[in-house]
Structures are given as structure tokens and as C-alpha cells.
């Protein structure tokens, strides 16, 4: 039997080692446990961050969708109205390098006009693919026609037979289409307007012409060598003459873009067309209008013809060291712009 003294000695020897081993074991395992806990915490936080990121992305996506929607809340052309009279815009066109550019410019104007029907007539044997595609892409309400001008009336080099201005046959085809499409007894009201593809038009012009009862008229800018041509209107609001340089004795000394006709008047006068033969240059407008109205029937628009509602293509003169550009400024009122071209700058001055 071991003595009590030996047992105490054994305990005193073993106990320190046991405590030492226990302390060492705990110090080695605790960092691992804390690391695993931290990993689990990091995992939870990362998953929370991931969910938060997804929520943030979804919110951002919703914001993006909302922004895109707000950018396209409008539509072109404007919705059709049952109250407003329709405007039938007749445009003759022919193939040339700038044709698509000028038709695009005109289409972008017409897209802002409610209740508009565009009758585009090509001077060709058949409708061309480029014009068909352009019309389809505009979204406008349109009719696409074609008729080729006879060879003896086409351009020959730098000269053209002056007996028939370009676009006459095309405009007449559009008039025939209107008469074949609409009945004179139809209740539908409308206005007919001749808009060439190389001109620029104010949106106010279409609002003005929509109230036309027979034939309405207004000034036209940059034609006949003038800053503008205009009907002369007396104090009673009646047209009595014409402000023009070229042959003011014409029955209707007006540009093609300077008048609009009520559709019912067109339908009621089936004999009214632009004359093809026996008409001097500049008398095409008169050949149609004298079959429709007299001078006293004309309805002056644009504040009794004191404002300009349409601009022709800008006339540019090119002296050696300067350019003279006539343009529009301040809404519809005309100003002259003097353009000085120097070595390093291009300076504009309003006169």
C-alpha cells in the first residue's frame, strides 16, 4: 500500500501537468472556434449585403424603367381628332441626292400636325424603295402615288422646257386621287395644301389654314428675288393686289406654298386642275385658282398677311470675302442676317 505521503506527491506532480495541458488545449482551440464564428457572421453579413445589393439593383432597374417610360410618354403623330378638319398635304418629289434629307425634314414638321394626311407623289415610273421605307418609318398617315413626267418636259442638261414647271403632273394626280376618294356629299371636312419638299414650314401655318372656307392666303418668304411676297390687304380685310416683283398683273400672283383650298371646293369644281399647256411660267397657281375663286373670295391669314408662315430654302450669295444670308428670326418675323467670313471666325450680325 502506498503511503499517504506518496499519494500526495503523485497528485502534486500530476495536477500541474493536467492544468498545463488543459490551458494549452483551450488556447489552441478557442481561436479556431472564434474564426469559425466570424466566418459564419461574415457569411451572414455577405448574404445580407448580397440581398441588399439585389434590392438596390432592382430598385435601380425600376428607376431606369421609369425614366425610359417618361422619355417616351408623347407620341408622333398626334392622336387623330374627330373635331379638327383634316389637312391633305400634296408633295411632288423627284430623285436627287438630297431627296431623302429634304423629305425627312418635311416629315419631321408634319409629325407635329394633328389630323394630317400626306399625299406624296413621285416623278417616276414606279414608287422607289427608299421613299417607301421613309414613309413607313415616319408613322404618318400617307398615300404614296407616282407618275412620270413626259420626256419632252424633263431636264435636258442645264435647261428644262419652261412650258411646264416641275411637279405639275404630280399635283394633278393628287387632285384626281382626292376626287376619286372623297364624295362631294361626304360630311368629312378637309383642307388641301401644296407643300414642296425643299421648303420649311411653320407649325402655326397649319393652325391658320385649318379654318379655310374657300381659299386662304398668306405671305411667303424668299421667293421672286424678294425677302417675302405677300397679298395686299385693305382695311376691310380684303385682298386687292400683290406685293411681288415678277409680273404682279397675274390673276393670282402668289407662290404655290402661299394658299390652301377647302376640300369641298376642290370636289365641287372637277374641272379645276393645273394647266399643262398654254400657260406661261409663274402662272400655274393662277391656272388653278381662277377655276375656284375670284380675288374677293380670298381669305387673308397670318394677321391680315403681316406675318410670314413659310420659309423657302435660304438664298446664299457668295462674294469673295463675305456671305449674305437671308433668314428668319424672332418667331415668324423676318430679319436680315449679315454674315462676315474672316480668316478665323464667322460673325453674324442682325440688321
Question: In this predicted structure, what is the pLDDT of residue 20?
Answer: 75
The predicted structure's pLDDT at residue 337? 34
CA distance 3 to 26: 35
Count of domains forming the chain: 3
Say which of 102, 122, 285, 299 is annotated catalytic: 285
Catalytic residue flag (residue 148): no
In a domain, 292, yes or no: yes
pLDDT for position 165: 73
Q: % helix / strand / coil in the chain, to the nearest 5?
A: 40, 25, 40
Write the pLDDT tens digit of every residue in 70-120: 444 456 788 899 899 999 999 999 999 999 999 999 999 999 999 999 999
Q: Rounded to 5 degrees, what angle do the CA atoms 23, 29, 33 make?
A: 135
Cβ atoms within 10 Å of 161's Cβ, excluding its own: 14
Residue 81 lies in a domain: no
Predicted confidence at residue 38, as pLDDT, reads 52
Q: Are 101 and 242 found together in one domain? A: yes
Structural domain harbouring 29: 1-73
Torsion of CA 160, 166, 170, 171, to 10 degrees: -140
Same domain, 43 and 115: no
Indicate whether 93 and 198 sit together in one domain: yes
Low-confidence ranges of the chain (pLDDT < 70): 1-3, 23, 25-75, 154-164, 308-351
Q: 142 - beta bridge partners?
A: 118
- Domain endpoint, select from 49, 73, 97: 73
DSSP 110-122: HTTSSSEEEEEEE
pLDDT, residue 1, reads: 54
Q: How far is CA 50 from CA 36, 60, 62, 148, 165, in A?
A: 20, 15, 18, 68, 73
| Residue 98: all three cell numbers together | 438630297
Known binder of ligand: residue 198? yes
What pLDDT is recorded for position 45?
A: 53
pLDDT at 49: 52
Amino acid at each position: 500500500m502506498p503511503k499517504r505521503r506518496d499519494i500526495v506527491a503523485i497528485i502534486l506532480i500530476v495536477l500541474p501537468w493536467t492544468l498545463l495541458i488543459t490551458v494549452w488545449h483551450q488556447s489552441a482551440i478557442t481561436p479556431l472556434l472564434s474564426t469559425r464564428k466570424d466566418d459564419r457572421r461574415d457569411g451572414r453579413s455577405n448574404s445580407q449585403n448580397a440581398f441588399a445589393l439585389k434590392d438596390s439593383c432592382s430598385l435601380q432597374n425600376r428607376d431606369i424603367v421609369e425614366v425610359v417610360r417618361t422619355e417616351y410618354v408623347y407620341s408622333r403623330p398626334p392622336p387623330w381628332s374627330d373635331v379638327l378638319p383634316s389637312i391633305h398635304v400634296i408633295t411632288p418629289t423627284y430623285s436627287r441626292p438630297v431627296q431623302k434629307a429634304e423629305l425627312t425634314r418635311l416629315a419631321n414638321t408634319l409629325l407635329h400636325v394633328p389630323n394630317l394626311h400626306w399625299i406624296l407623289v413621285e416623278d417616276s415610273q414606279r414608287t422607289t424603295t427608299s421613299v417607301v421605307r421613309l414613309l413607313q418609318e415616319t408613322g404618318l398617315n400617307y398615300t404614296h402615288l407616282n407618275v412620270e413626267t413626259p420626256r419632252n418636259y424633263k431636264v435636258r442638261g442645264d435647261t428644262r422646257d419652261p412650258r411646264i414647271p416641275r411637279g405639275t403632273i404630280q399635283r394633278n394626280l393628287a387632285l384626281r386621287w382626292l376626287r376619286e376618294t372623297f364624295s362631294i356629299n361626304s360630311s368629312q371636312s378637309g383642307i388641301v395644301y401644296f407643300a414642296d419638299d425643299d421648303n420649311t414650314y411653320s407649325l402655326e401655318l397649319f393652325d391658320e389654314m385649318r379654318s379655310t372656307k374657300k381659299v386662304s392666303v398668306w405671305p411667303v418668304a424668299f421667293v421672286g428675288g424678294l425677302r417675302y411676297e405677300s397679298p395686299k390687304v385693305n382695311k376691310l380685310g380684303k385682298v386687292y393686289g400683290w406685293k411681288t416683283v415678277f409680273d404682279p398683273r397675274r390673276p393670282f400672283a402668289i407662290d404655290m406654298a402661299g394658299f390652301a383650298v377647302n376640300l369641298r371646293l376642290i370636289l365641287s369644281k372637277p374641272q379645276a386642275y393645273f394647266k399643262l399647256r398654254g400657260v406661261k411660267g409663274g402662272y400655274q397657281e393662277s391656272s388653278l385658282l381662277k377655276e375656284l375663286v375670284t380675288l374677293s373670295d380670298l381669305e387673308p391669314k397670318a394677321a391680315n398677311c403681316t406675318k410670314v408662315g413659310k420659309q423657302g430654302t435660304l438664298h446664299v450669295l457668295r462674294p469673295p470675302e463675305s456671305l449674305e444670308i437671308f433668314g428668319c428670326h424672332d418667331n415668324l418675323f423676318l430679319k436680315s442676317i449679315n454674315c462676315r467670313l474672316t480668316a478665323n471666325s464667322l460673325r453674324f450680325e442682325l440688321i
